[in-house]
Amino acid sequence: MKAYSMDLRKRVLAMCDAGHGTTQVARLVHVSPAWIRRLKQRRREDGQIAPRPSGGRRHRCLDDAQREQLRTWLTQRSDSTLTQLQAKLAKHCKVRCSLMTVSRAARSMGWSFKKRRFEPVNKIDLMLSNID
């Protein structure tokens, strides 16, 4: 959602300064009364009425060296669980991260944690495997 324009912000504050009530102004300009109250509060506390910067890009928790270490552990023991890898990162690399971070890093390297059974799935596969 885009921030309200500076023109609208100035008009709303001018109306409020002229003595109109917050709810009345909100109905006139089609915004919420809560937004007007927050705008007035921000002007009172910070002297700012411009929109705050929105969001931002989240940076990776693991740097390239730590990702390479994770790759090494996965090639050495491909049956490691996410919890084990998370503990190794905390112990050896001094990095605290979530299981989801470890999972995303492993998936971006092409690893999957799906456990596959080493037996035929159904009777047809079982019959075909007995023929060989």
Instruction: State residue 56's pLDDT score.
Output: 77
In the predicted model, what is the mean pLDDT of residues 110-117? 70
Rounded to an integer, what distance in angstroms lies between the CA atom of residue 123 and that of residue 84?
36
**Tokens representing 101?**
């971070």
List the end-to-end C-alpha distance of the chain, in Å, as a whole number. Answer: 62
Mean pLDDT of the chain: 86
Which parts of the chain fold into alpha helices (H)? 6-17, 22-29, 33-46, 64-76, 82-92, 99-108, 123-131
Question: What's this model's pTM, rounded to 2 decimal places?
Answer: 0.48
Question: pLDDT tens digits for 9-45?
Answer: 999 999 999 999 999 999 999 999 999 999 999 999 9
